[in-house]
């Protein structure tokens, strides 16, 4: 009879597996559950499972204990919130400011549809910032956020609008550092357009609401106002006087590997970008936690809105001036290691690191997919 033992064991195992399959038709192996009460002969048997949605299944791992109490475990909830009833879970938020009294539903007679964030310091550019904020504040459709890199928040109280905007402060940090930490896509989910701007932009010829109308009309997912002024700027961002928008230019010789690639197309500068909600959800994930200056984003953010040469562009009918005042650079003057020269060196280093990381990630994914990596996959044309 010894030769029958493996057969008997196999039959028992098959029956056990069949019974488990009948009782838990939508489960695959992954979180733990014990069955001594179902199969007393099996002892303390336990298996791993994760429940998935099925035709006649709710997509959860909820159970009823011996007291008849439902133990919720809903796998379609956000990670960490599986034990909450789905109808109570709030997975996204906003930057709407609520009052401390009254009925919550009556707090917001108007919910802003757009968001603008400026990196600011209370110094030589405060009047320029004042002009810029008032350009956006004239509309009730904007939530306005100031990222303070110098720690001076109270000084802005000289302007009436200061009490209505959101102030966030951390010394000697860039707007991209702030954006990565405070503008998560699930936090700014209600906003249709998100502006992330420098403080040294002249806005005398700019109307935010008109700008959005034009960007929407032309299907621009990532855009910026044209730049009108002196000094170096990319030809892509220079104002064209006879156009409403443009999406492509002829750059300097050998600067573009293709007329549909940056900086000839699919390109905006990091000083005044405007993102749609969906484009920002992607772009936010491109920002590296330790690369705080944002250099390299402008050449690569086109990946978020394929095809970039069609969904990115510059709005000529609404233009700005770039005063090119390096206020943030002046935050580090104590010694040679924190001088403006050292900060510029850091910017270039970050650009190089950004490109290298992206190239390595590309190569790894091509390898995973079993596809040869293109030897010409370069993004940085000027470093």
CA torsion, ordered 67, 70, 71, 73, to nearest 10 deg:
160
> What range defines the domain where residue 31 resides?
18-87
pLDDT in tens, 193-220: 999 999 999 999 999 999 999 999 999 9
Query: pLDDT band for position 258 (50/70/90)?
Result: confident
Domain identity same for 68 and 127: no
Structure tokens at 271: 């000083």
74 and 122 share one domain: no
Q: With bands split at pLDDT 50, 70 and 90, how would you rate the model's confidence at 224?
A: very high
- 16 half-sphere exposure, CB direction, 13 A CA radius: 17
Task: State which of 70, 87, 104 marks the end of a domain.
Answer: 87
122 and 53 inside one domain: no
What secondary structure letter does DSSP report for 268?
A: -
Structural domain ending residue among the three candidates 282, 302, 330: 330
Token pair for 78? 């956000």
Structure confidence at residue 43 as a pLDDT band (50, 70, 90): very low
Q: What are phi and psi of 318, to 5 degrees?
A: -125, 110
Instruction: Tell whether 161 and 253 lie within a shared domain.
Output: yes
pLDDT band (50, 70, 90) for residue 329: low
Q: Are residues 226 and 288 in the same domain?
A: yes
User: Confidence class of residue 59 from pLDDT cuts 50, 70 and 90?
Assistant: low
* Residues 332 and 344: beta-carbon distance below 8 Å: no
| Residue range 82-141, pLDDT digits in tens | 999 999 999 999 999 999 999 999 999 999 999 999 999 998 899 999 999 999 999 899
More confident residue, 18 or 284: 284
The tens digit of pLDDT for each residue in 273-322 reads 999 999 999 999 999 999 999 999 999 999 999 999 999 999 999 999 99
Q: Which of 219, 227, 328 is nearest to 273 (CA)?
A: 227
Residue 299, domain CATH: 3.90.550.10
Same domain, 78 and 117: no
Domain final position from 330, 345, 370:
330
Q: Is 36 domain-assigned? A: yes
- Stretch 139-148: mean pLDDT: 96
DSSP character string of 66-113? TTS-EE--BTTSPTT-TTS-GGG-------PPPPSSS-GGGS-SS---
In this predicted model, which residue has the larger pLDDT, 34 or 272? 272
Mean pLDDT is lowest, of 39-43, 267-271, 368-372, for 39-43
Domain total in the chain? 2
| Within a domain: 122 | yes
Whether 18 shows a pLDDT value over 80: the answer reads no
> Is residue 349 situated within a structural domain?
no
Is 352 inside any structural domain?
no
In a domain, 274, yes or no: yes
In this predicted structure, what is the pLDDT of residue 124? 87
Q: How far apart (Å, rounded) are the C-alpha atoms in residues 79 and 75?
A: 8
| Residue 257 and residue 125 share a domain | yes
Based on the domain organization, do 203 and 318 belong to the same domain?
yes
| Cβ atoms within 10 Å, residue 299 | 23
SS3 321: strand
φ and ψ of 79, to 5 deg: -55, 130
Strand partners, 147: 119, 168
Same domain, yes or no: 120 and 265: yes
User: Is residue 363 a part of any domain in this protein?
Assistant: no
Number of other CB atoms surrounding residue 109 within 10 Å? 6
Q: Flag whether pLDDT at 79 surpasses 60.
A: yes
**Across the chain, what does the average pLDDT equal?**
84
Write the CB contacts of 314 (distance below 8 Å, at least 6 apart in sequence).
Answer: 223, 224, 225, 226, 236, 237, 245, 246, 247, 268
Query: Domain check: are 77 and 137 in the same one?
Result: no
Query: Would you state the pLDDT for residue 338?
Result: 64
pLDDT at 30: 39
- pTM value is 0.81
- 285 inside domain: yes
Tell me if the bond preceding 164 is cis, omega within 30° of 0.
Answer: no
Q: Is residue 7 part of a domain?
A: no
Whether residues 230 and 158 share a domain: the answer is yes
Same domain membership, residue 143 and residue 77: no
CA 80 to chain centre: 21
- pLDDT score for 19: 54
Split at pLDDT 50, 70, 90, the class of 337 is: low
Q: What's the pLDDT at 63?
A: 86
């Amino acid at each position: 009879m010894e030769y029958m033992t493996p057969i008997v064991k196999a039959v028992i195992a098959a029956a056990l597996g069949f019974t488990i399959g009948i009782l838990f038709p939508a489960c695959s192996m992954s979180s733990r559950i014990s069955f001594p009460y179902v199969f007393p002969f099996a002892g303390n048997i336990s298996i791993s499972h994760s429940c998935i949605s099925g035709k006649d299944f709710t997509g959860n791992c909820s159970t009823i204990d011996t007291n008849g109490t439902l133990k919720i475990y809903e796998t379609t909830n956000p990670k960490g919130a599986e034990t909450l009833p789905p109808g109570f879970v709030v997975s996204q938020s906003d930057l709407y400011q609520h009052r401390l009294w009254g009925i919550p539903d009556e707090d917001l007679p108007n919910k802003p549809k757009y968001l603008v964030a400026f990196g600011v310091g209370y110094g030589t550019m405060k009047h320029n910032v004042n002009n810029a904020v008032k350009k956006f504040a004239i509309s009730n459709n904007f939530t306005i956020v100031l990222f303070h890199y110098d720690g001076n928040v109270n000084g802005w109280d000289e302007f009436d609008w200061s009490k209505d905007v959101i102030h966030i402060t951390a010394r000697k940090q860039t707007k991209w550092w702030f954006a990565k930490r405070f503008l998560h896509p699930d936090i700014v989910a209600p906003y249709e357009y998100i502006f992330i701007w420098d403080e040294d932009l002249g806005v005398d010829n700019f109307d935010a609401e008109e700008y959005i109308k034009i960007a929407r009309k032309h299907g621009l997912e990532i855009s910026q106002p044209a730049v009108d002024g002196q000094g170096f700027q990319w030809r892509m961002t220079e104002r064209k006087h006879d156009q409403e928008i443009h999406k492509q230019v002829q750059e300097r010789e050998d600067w573009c590997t293709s007329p549909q690639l940056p900086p000839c197309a699919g390109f905006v500068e990091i000083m005044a970008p405007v993102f749609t909600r969906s484009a920002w959800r992607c772009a936010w994930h491109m920002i590296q936690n330790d690369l705080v200056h944002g250099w390299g984003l402008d050449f690569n953010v086109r990946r978020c809105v394929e095809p970039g040469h069609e969904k990115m562009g510059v709005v000529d009918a609404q233009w700005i001036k770039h005063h090119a005042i390096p206020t943030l650079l002046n935050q580090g003057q104590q010694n040679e290691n924190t001088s403006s020269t050292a900060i510029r060196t850091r910017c270039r280093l970050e650009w190089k690191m950004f490109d290298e990381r992206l190239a390595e990630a590309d190569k790894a994914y091509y390898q995973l997919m079993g596809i040869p990596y293109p030897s010409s996959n370069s993004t940085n044309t000027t470093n």
